[in-house]
């Protein structure tokens, strides 16, 4: 029996990379999936087709993570399309690097709006739909707890904020039987951070296991946390980084 059979999940930022892998893995475990995307409608359609061609159920839902109304609307739209919602995966995020001196107000607002505010708003909107046993899982970063070099302060701050949000929300929702967790990927081979990229050697040097992770590595952990065997995992962060933060 598939561990998520009958469950309904909304994954934001799921048209590519880690989000797409999460959507596919949740479907493989039996969940119906809403694939969130911002601009990449063709990529989202490809993920949906891959799921439906494999016998799963999926829909694409457009969501601009920097627009509060759009975030709330997307959660409601996903729940309506799937006939309810059991799992919310807050995966949409952006990365803007640079020194503090070079940081613009737009950089600050965009990073906090997408990486923090959208997570809070989507979680809030999901509460109208999540039943007892529901799951809220956010994608953080191993840079939330260790910053190995310059130029990452803003991004690290935004992901560190998810730790406090996760812990506090877990307390708030515990009486309702809803768990809240954050998964912290390390260097993961995606088009945003390819394993053969210019900065790959520096990242590999930090790892106890010197290899990039795959989106599927992260998706496997998310699927476990979303499943019935993880009912006592709550209010915590789980890191998938090859031991970079060890």
Q: What would the pLDDT profile of 219-236 be if each residue is shown by its tens digit?
A: 999 999 999 999 999 999
* C-alpha span between 19 and 40 (Å, rounded): 13
* C-alpha span between 123 and 138 (Å, rounded): 9
pLDDT at residue 154, as a whole number: 97
pLDDT at residue 226, as a whole number: 98
- Hey, where are the domains in the chain? 8-240
Task: Kindly report the average pLDDT of the chain as a whole number.
Answer: 97
For the annotated catalytic residues, the residue numbers are 155
The DSSP letter of residue 188 is: B
pLDDT at residue 34, as a whole number: 98
Mean predicted confidence (pLDDT) in 60-89: 98
**pTM (2 d.p.):** 0.97
Q: How far is CA 94 from the centre of its chain?
A: 11
- Tokens at residue 108, please? 């600050």
- Tokens at residue 124, please? 């809030």
Homologous superfamily of 8-240 in CATH? NAD(P)-binding Rossmann-like Domain (3.40.50.720)
**Torsions phi, psi for 54 (to 5 deg):** -90, 5
Question: What b-and-e string marks burial along 15-40, b requiring 16 or more CB atoms within 10 Å of the CB?
Answer: bbbbbbbbbbbbbbbbbbbbbbbbeb
């Amino acid at each position: 029996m598939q561990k998520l059979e009958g469950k309904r999940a909304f994954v934001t930022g799921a048209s590519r990379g880690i989000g797409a892998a999460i959507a596919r893995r949740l479907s493989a475990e039996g969940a119906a999936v809403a694939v969130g995307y911002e601009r990449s409608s063709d990529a989202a359609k490809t993920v949906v087709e891959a799921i439906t061609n494999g016998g799963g159920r999926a829909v694409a839902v457009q969501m601009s993570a920097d627009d509060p109304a759009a975030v709330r609307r997307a959660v409601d739209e996903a729940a309506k399309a799937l006939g309810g919602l059991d799992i919310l995966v807050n995966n949409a995020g952006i990365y803007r690097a640079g020194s503090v001196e070079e940081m613009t107000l737009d950089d600050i607002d965009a990073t906090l709006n997408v990486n923090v505010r959208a997570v809070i708003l989507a979680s809030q909107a999901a509460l109208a739909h999540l039943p007892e046993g529901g799951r809220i899982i956010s994608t953080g970063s191993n840079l939330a707890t260790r910053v190995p070099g310059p130029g990452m302060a803003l991004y690290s701050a935004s992901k560190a904020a998810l730790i406090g949000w996760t812990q506090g929300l877990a307390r708030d929702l515990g009486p309702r039987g809803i768990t809240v967790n954050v998964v912290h990927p390390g260097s993961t081979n995606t088009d945003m951070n390819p394993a053969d990229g210019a900065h790959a050697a520096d990242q590999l040097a930090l790892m106890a296991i010197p290899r990039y992770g795959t989106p599927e590595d992260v998706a496997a952990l998310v699927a476990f946390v979303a499943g019935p065997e993880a009912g006592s995992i709550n209010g915590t962060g789980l890191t998938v980084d090859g031991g970079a933060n060890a």
